[in-house]
Amino acid sequence: MSKSNDELFKNVISHAKEYGFVFPSSEIYDGLSAVYDYGQFGAELKNNIKTYWWKSMVQMHENIVGIDSAIFMHPKIWKASGHVDGFNDPMIDNKDSKKRYRADQLLEDKIAKYEKDGKTAKAESLQSAMDEALKNEDLPKLKDLIVEHEVVCPVSGTRNWTDVRQFNLMFSTQFGAMAEGSDEVYLRPETAQGIFVNFLNVQKTGRMKIPFGIAQIGKAFRNEVIARQFILRMREFEQMEMQFFVRPGEEMKWYAYWKEARLKWHLALGTATEKYRYHDHTKLAHYANAAVDIEFEFPFGFKEVEGIHSRTDFDLSQHQEFSGKKMQYFDPELNADGKPYGNYIPYVIETSIGLDRMFLLTLVNSFEEQELSEGDKTDSRTVLRLHPCLAPVKAAVLPLTKKDGLPEKAKEIMDRLKLDHNLIYEEKDSIGKRYRRQDAIGTPFCITVDHQTLEDNTVTIRHRDSMEQERVPASELERIIGDLVSWKNLLGS
Ligand code: GAP
């Protein structure tokens, strides 16, 4: 990370805390690693991101419905999905520092170092050796590579390593009132399985016809070996996932559709196209026949924000086998030979985005420290240039002074507008300071009530990004603010 990007990211993290977006969890007890709480503005921003996703996926698609499945599920589900046996990270401990690392991450860091030092051939050969070892789950080979390339522990500086072991990322807990004799259950590591096991419930009760989708937003839990970069990799996080059920043989058409549709969803927020890229997977999971990541350029480099996976019929077939219940769909439509497609297990295209990662992206992408100096007057501001639909607060209502009946008039306006929007009323401090505070939390509009308001019932609307002001009739505010923050501005693009 270059110095300026490093600084920028640190500033984003402290801004998020200072302005009530994200707090370290259990902070008064010194925190809990890789767990975070969302503050008063963070919770609003997160809800607005969820609403944007839900509206785009469910409300805008007649053939997609949303569910909310439980976090606890039958333990056999995770056996069927492959998570009990295969949801592992290779980890290694340094015997001196007692610190635990992901073996592949240590090697990735070494590869990055070789690249930085211009040792391209060494970087490439280590990369391919590591890829091969990961593919074959060859743990001794990973250890050999760590030894051979003289990887040292970043804390102790020594090369005193344990063997590499597999570490399952699922959290487990005891189910039932008595710990003794009760069953072990897992906290779900993805929301997707809650969709797969409800496939028939939704299809039958909703009379859904293929192709159709089931969407869900919810918590997921992973005991990540390394958690870093703030809320990028957390142990408790939220996913927004959609499984799209299609006819076998038609999955590539839908994969291409969702790959494009999902990037469009990101770009509609106004983010520069060059901040995004696709990363097509060349090494596929055993159940997938195509997979791509949508990556965003964070200050610390391009990182995955969303995955689009063609998961074949793997999950439904596994659940059919493990539960003994048929997971088939009867398709009455006629194929090219004029015969019904009949019974089959549908294929699935999945779109899976991390809500917290999207939150971080939104914060990083909207954060701007601006110099506003004019002549010999120096000034600056920190502004979150959030899309108005995502902004935690849509408008602030500000009486110019605390007297002359201005607060009463401002509160009257506030009471009318708050029926539709999340607003803030503030009368403390100078108007300039109040504008700056709203800029810092991304409030797109400030409505100022001044002495002229009492004469002609007009107010000013100050626009966050341009800082320009316009005078409008107070009686028109519902319509004007309603239009400015309407979801139509985002969903219609
Ligand atoms: N159902 C497929 C699935 O879970 P994934 O690539 O493991 O696929 C999907 O996760 C998305 O969830 C990622 O693109 C990322 O945005 C988010 N995600 C995964 N692990 C995360 C973590 N530890 N913390 C925050 N977000 C995470």
- Number of structural domains the chain divides into: 3
Residue 186 has a pLDDT of: 97
Q: Which amino acid is at 249?
A: G
- Whether the CB-CB separation of 429 and 440 falls below 8 Å is answered with no
Of all protein residues, the one whose alpha carbon is nearest to atom 21 of ligand 1 is 233
CATH code assigned at 259: 3.30.930.10
Q: Which of 219, 239, 306, 310 to mutate to test the pocket of ligand 1 (most atoms within 8 A of CB)?
A: 239
pLDDT at residue 319, rounded to an integer: 98
- CA torsion 203-207-213-215 (nearest 10°) is -70
Residues 10 and 37 in one domain: yes
The CA 361 to ligand 1 mean position distance, Å, reads: 14
In a domain, 240, yes or no: yes
Measuring from atom 27 of ligand 1, which residue has the nearest CA?
354
User: What range defines the domain where residue 427 resides?
Assistant: 382-491
Within this chain, do residues 161 and 177 fall inside the same structural domain, yes or no? no
230 and 347 in a single domain? The answer is yes
In-domain check, residue 441: yes
The answer to whether 455 touches 469, Cβ cutoff 8 Å, is no
Residues 320 and 390 in one domain: no
Query: What is the C-alpha separation between 386 and 367, in angstroms, rounded?
Result: 8
Find the 18 Cα to ligand 1 centroid distance in Å.
27
Which alpha helices (DSSP H) does 65-118 contain, by range? 75-80, 83-86, 103-116
Tokens of 7: 């600084």
Which of 81, 76, 88, 69 shows the shortest CA–CA distance to 184? 76
Q: What is the pLDDT of residue 180?
A: 61
Spell out, as residue ranges, where the chain has pLDDT lower than 50.
none
Q: Is 362 left (phi over 0), alpha (psi -120 to 50) or beta?
A: alpha
Examine residue 377 and state whether it is found in any structural domain, yes or no. no
Distance from C-alpha of 271 to C-alpha of 385, rounded to nearest angstrom: 11
Please choose from 303, 312, 352, 358 the residue to mutate so as to test ligand 1's pocket, defined by most ligand atoms within 8 A of CB.
Answer: 352
My answer on whether 210 and 359 are in the same domain is yes
pLDDT digits (tens, 9 = 90+) for 296-320: 999 999 999 999 999 999 999 999 9
Instruction: Determine if ligand 1 sits within 6 Å of the CB of residue 192.
Output: yes
Domain boundary among 333, 364, 395: 364
Q: Is the CB of 353 under 6 A from ligand 1?
A: yes
- Regarding the beta carbon of 352 and ligand 1, being less than 6 Å apart is answered yes
Same domain (yes/no): 307, 338? yes
Does the beta carbon of 78 sit less than 6 angstroms from any atom of ligand 1? Answer: no
Q: Whose CA is nearest to atom 16 of ligand 1?
A: 354
Q: Give the predicted TM-score (pTM) of the model.
A: 0.93
Cα torsion 283, 285, 287, 291: sign: negative
pLDDT number for residue 39: 98
d(CA 378, CA 394): 29
Asked if residue 349 belongs to a domain, the reply is yes
| Cβ–Cβ < 8 Å for 241, 192 | yes
- Regarding whether 310 and 221 lie in a shared domain, the answer is yes
Query: 143 with 180, same domain?
Result: no
Residue nearest (by alpha carbon) to ligand 1 atom 20: 233
Q: Residues 154-209: pLDDT tens digits?
A: 999 999 999 999 999 999 999 886 556 568 999 999 999 999 999 999 999 999 99
Instruction: Say if residue 155 is in the same domain as residue 140.
Output: yes
Q: Is 42 in the pocket of ligand 1 (CB under 6 A)?
A: no
Whether 190 lines ligand 1, by a CB cut-off of 6 Å, is yes
Residues 158 and 178 reside in one and the same domain: no
Question: Any idea what the CATH number is for the domain that residue 95 is in?
Answer: 3.30.40.230
| pLDDT computed for residue 405 by the predictor | 96
In testing the pocket of ligand 1, which one of 304, 306, 308, 350 has its CB within 8 Å of the most ligand atoms?
304
Q: 237 in ligand 1 pocket by Cβ < 6 Å?
A: yes
Q: Which of 167, 197, 217 is the last residue of a domain?
A: 167
Interatomic CA distance for residues 367 and 16, integer angstroms: 10
Indicate whether 204 and 66 sit together in one domain.
yes
Q: What is the pLDDT of residue 282?
A: 84
Q: Is the same domain home to 328 and 281?
A: yes
